[in-house]
Amino acid sequence: MGKTYPFTKMHGLGNCYIYLDGIANHLDIPSPAELSVKVSDPFRGIGSDGMILILPSEQADVCMRIFNKDGSEARNCGNGLRCVARYVYEQGYVPTRRFTIETLSGNKRAEVHLRDGRVDQVTVDMGVPILERSRIPVAGGNGRQMVIREPLRVNHEDYTFTAVSMGNPHALFFVNDVDAAPIHQLGRLLADTYPLFPEGVNVGFVHLLSDHELDYRVWERGSGITQACGTGACASVVASILESRIEKDTPVTVHLAGGSLSIEWRSSDDHVFMTGSAEVICKGIYYEL
């Protein structure tokens, strides 16, 4: 018999990952990328958008490593952060309701909100948005400038997009109807191999409903269409503010396919805060034969 991995499957608004606990268990994983591909497979594995490892940290209270369903490693994941926060609090790995989580994009502050002694909602400080072209990154142009309403011609069609990084890159397209948006066409073309985005990009579509509410859909690099993307929801609000569609310091409800998040970009410290749910689906043991 091969190796066995106890797992917890969790989701944030339908964005589901397989979580492996490397604090309680010794995780002997020669290739996390390969294991993520295997467990994500809905027919031969468990089925998910990827795999997240929960690990000890020398610089924060806990650490998370995020692997997409294609095996690529992500720098950040908003829905994953909330799920990790709930998990480590309920397992007693952190002493208070406020703590820090190490990611490849830096340490993130989290706070769990309780109802009847259980975690009901989680707020995560997603940090300061990255807006410089070269740091997002978007190829070409002046690397120190922001990418706001930039023209893009694809397959004889003209678009404009605004680019934001929340630890991972996002290209945001404003549309009149997210359900009619060209998510398959642009997502497949831009997300993983398009030269304009040298590290790939999450392709998001935004429909502003009011100055405090919007619809958002996304094609995530390495995963395709997902039910929700926490960093993308944050990026959609930042892009809306950059395009002067809404103002800072306004909590915005972002409706995704899997549910809604509350996002606020605050002037006081320029940080973006995200609040939403985190749910346990099931627990089990994965057998790697």
Confirm or deny that 202 is annotated as ligand binding.
yes
Concerning whether 16 is annotated as a catalytic residue, the answer is no
Tell me the one-letter amino acid at 94: V
CA-to-CA separations, 248 to 114, 161, 204, in angstroms, rounded = 28, 20, 20
Confirm or deny that 230 is annotated as ligand binding.
yes
Q: For residues 163 and 193, what is the distance between their CA atoms, to the nearest angstrom? A: 17
Confirm or deny that 168 is annotated as ligand binding.
yes
What pairing do the DSSP bridges indicate for beta strands 202-210 and 213-220?
Answer: antiparallel
Confirm or deny that 25 is annotated as ligand binding.
no
Concerning whether 83 is annotated as a catalytic residue, the answer is no
Asked if 11 and 18 touch (Cβ cutoff 8 Å), the reply is: no
Q: Exposed/middle/buried for 95, CB within 10 Å: 0-12, 13-18, 19+?
A: exposed
Q: Exposed/middle/buried for 197, CB within 10 Å: 0-12, 13-18, 19+?
A: buried
Q: For residues 134 and 143, what is the distance between their CA atoms, to the nearest angstrom? A: 4
Name the catalytic one among 16, 83, 229, 234.
Answer: 229
Name the catalytic one among 77, 83, 234, 282.
Answer: 77
Confirm or deny that 107 is annotated as ligand binding.
no
Annotated binding residues, written as ranges, equal: 15, 68, 78-79, 168, 202, 220-221, 230-231
Annotated binding site for substrate: 15, 68, 78-79, 168, 202, 220-221, 230-231
Q: Any idea which residues carry the catalytic annotation?
A: 77, 229
